[in-house]
Amino acid sequence: MSSATAEAFPEPVRTDGKFRAWRRTRPFWGGLLAMIAGVPILYLPYAHLSLNGMSIAMSTTAGAGSLIIGILIIALGLTVWFQPLVRIFCGVATSVLALVSIPVSNLGGFGLGLIPGLIAGGLMVAWAPLPVVEAVPADGTAETTATAEMAAEQPAEQTVPLPTQSTTAPLATEPGEQK
């Protein structure tokens, strides 16, 4: 294929925004960052790195703990994608597990898992679903219904008469009390 036979501007693939709509209804970036944070926490304690022929083994007795923490952080990232209602729990648990990975998993995967894990936990906790916007009718009755709804939501004002400041008014007494 040469440049003479190639199309100048190929037709883009249309997805009709289905992924975008799905992504906006859940804490997508917090979940993605949590899954990314779980990988170095999971991998680095088992890795055998080589620098100029010198082997660096990070294997410690905390390898099983790192494995559990990494898998849990990845699972929390997936959970918050598919069950957005548990975002607070997942965010707090991700932050706590990222902090626990400091002593357990070689300083949290040398910070490569710790920092994204803490940011992901904050993103999950801070995310809130957008309020549902109702469609406006075309006949113009939206103003009257909106006013009626606002009046229904407003608490009714209660008027309480102010006490009189007259000194000649008799004092109220409780039953059984003498003057």
- For residues 66 and 85, what is the distance between their CA atoms, to the nearest angstrom? 27
Amino acid making up residue 104: V
In DSSP terms, which residues pair with 54 in a beta bridge?
51
Q: What residue segments make up the domains of the chain, in order of their start?
A: 28-126
**What is the rounded average pLDDT for all residues in the chain?**
78
Closest alpha carbon to 97 in 77, 114, 84: 114
117-121, 125-129, 145-149, 171-175: the lowest-pLDDT one: 145-149
pLDDT at 124: 94
Q: How do residues 30-70 score in pLDDT, each as one tens digit?
A: 999 999 999 988 887 777 777 787 776 666 666 788 889 99
What average pLDDT score do residues 90-107 get?
A: 89
Percent of the chain whose predicted confidence (pLDDT) is above 90: 31
pTM of the entire structure? 0.64
Is 44 or 90 the better-scoring residue by pLDDT?
Answer: 90
Phi-psi region at 140: left, alpha or beta (left = phi > 0; alpha = psi -120 to 50) = left
